[in-house]
Amino acid sequence: MKEEATIRRGARNARYAAIPNHVFEEVRLSMEARWLLGYLLSKPDNWTVVLRDIINKGNCGRDKARRMVAELVELGYAQKEQARDGGRFSALSLVIYDEPFAVEVTESVASLPQTEKPSTVNPSTEKPAPVNPPLVITDNLENTDNRSERGASANDQEDRKKIEKAYWKLVRSWPKLDGTPQAKWFDSWLALTPEERILAAEKRDAWVELLRSNGRDHIHVPGTYFENKLWEQVPDAPTVSTDQPARLEAKPFGKLFAIEVYRNFLTVSPGMISAPTAFERAQIERCERIEGDIYREKLVKQGWTDVEGMFERAATGRSVVVSGRLAGLADRMESISVGSERWLAWKAYHEDRGWRWYPSPDWLKWVCFPSGGPDGMKDFETALRGIGDDDGR
């Protein structure tokens, strides 16, 4: 059978460019950088382009566009040049070559317009242009070598969506924050360096605990925390031993046991709840029962099967195994006497939340709960979520 050509060429017209084959075979460059080099070399001599054009044509972000340009510079296909204007440095320019240069190029670059759109107009010069003048590319904002690492430059170092996600994750869990979290604090968050944002999030809970240990009940709003770098008040945590076990035994109704129970209730979505049976439907139709009450009963029994299994083991005196990371929350737990007023307050809280209540074998005298009673659950949840994305699992 006759083989067909794998490459088909259309009728040639004026819209073609002669580019050396090695440009597309340069294995030291990434595919994206090879595309950029080919794209720029396809332009007429003295073509002026801004970074925004690369972003649009390459369908990529600013960071990726800069990385592609950096590859060309590193391998000699581009060279940075800085023109002077009245004794001051003007915008940074790059000269593009179809062959990687081996020696320093001293040919100066003409003054370039700062435009958002490509221009084919040749800039005026006082001396004749080279026979094959190099392509010139300029960033329409500012010299990247002199950029500050702070403020708006964070947009060039991190994906903005990730910055916003981290911001809202931190602010929405802010202790004693009245009303809906405000977006006005985002500028203060954005003004931090990436390293500062990480520290601000990691040390927030420790900072809150530091305030409380000093008898201070007022918690500053996020904007004040960011602008004054209040996390720096928190001393560095002692080095954690690397031989800490990954899993720990949680004895029935003890501190680790209770932490694991509430980790499930607070961070794990309820499982599939069965629909009302025919008998239950008949009760609803006869107005003997309310469908919502039936659902809540099923939620208690079926919502968190892991907790149900833990309670079954604990009722017979058997331990469970939990993540070693939960040990850091043990100081937040307290023992409460079975049948006491505080015990009954927790029982009412469980009923209100639709959570399974603790079993009460005859030998049970004490059960551990988060300190501060039900009113302290918000702070406990904040600390629980602060131990990691997997919340101790």
Residue 259 confidence (pLDDT): 94
166 with 61, same domain: the answer is no
**Within a domain: 390:** no
Q: CB neighbours (10 Å) of residue 73?
A: 13
**Within a domain: 58:** yes
CA distance 306 to 324: 18
The residue from 146, 172, 190 where one domain ends is: 146
Please check whether residue 335 is in contact with residue 366, taking contact to mean a CB–CB distance below 8 angstroms: yes
115 with 192, same domain: the answer is no
**Within a domain: 16:** no
321 with 215, same domain: the answer is no
128 with 87, same domain: the answer is yes
163 with 259, same domain: the answer is no
The residue from 101, 130, 146 where one domain ends is: 146
Residue 133 confidence (pLDDT): 45
**Within a domain: 2:** no
Please check whether residue 246 is in contact with residue 324, taking contact to mean a CB–CB distance below 8 angstroms: yes
251 with 378, same domain: the answer is yes
107 with 72, same domain: the answer is yes
190 with 155, same domain: the answer is yes
124 with 181, same domain: the answer is no
CA distance 113 to 110: 10
The residue from 186, 207, 233 where one domain ends is: 233
254 with 224, same domain: the answer is no
CA distance 243 to 231: 28
**For residue 60, what is the domain's CATH number?**
1.10.10
**Within a domain: 55:** yes
Q: Give me the long-range contacts of 186-193 (CB less than 8 A, separation at least 24).
A: 188/222, 188/223, 188/226, 188/227, 189/163, 189/222, 189/226, 190/151, 190/152, 190/154, 190/155, 190/163, 191/150, 191/151, 191/154, 191/226, 191/227, 192/150, 192/154, 192/226, 193/149, 193/150, 193/154
Handedness of CA 296, 302, 307, 308 (dihedral sign): positive
Residue 254 confidence (pLDDT): 94
**Within a domain: 391:** no
Number of residues that make up the chain: 393
- The number of domains in the chain is 3
**Within a domain: 366:** yes
196 with 318, same domain: the answer is no
* 3-class secondary structure, 373: coil
| Ordered per-residue pLDDT tens for the chain, 393 residues | 444 445 445 555 556 778 888 888 888 888 988 999 888 888 876 676 677 888 888 888 888 888 888 888 888 888 776 555 555 444 456 678 888 765 343 333 333 333 344 444 444 444 333 334 445 544 443 333 333 344 444 444 457 788 888 888 888 888 877 665 577 788 888 888 888 999 999 999 888 888 877 777 788 888 889 988 888 888 876 555 555 678 899 999 999 999 999 998 888 766 666 677 888 778 778 888 787 676 667 666 666 778 888 888 999 999 998 989 899 899 999 999 999 999 999 999 998 888 888 988 999 999 999 999 999 899 999 999 887 644 444
**Within a domain: 8:** no
| Domain hosting residue 377, numbered range | 247-268+304-385
Residue 286 confidence (pLDDT): 83
CA distance 240 to 336: 30
65 with 135, same domain: the answer is yes
Residues of 30-54 as b/e, b for ≥16 C-beta within 10 angstroms?
eeebbbbbebbbebeebbbbbbbbb
**Distance (Å) of CA 324 to CA 114, 243, 367:** 57, 11, 20
Residue 82 confidence (pLDDT): 56
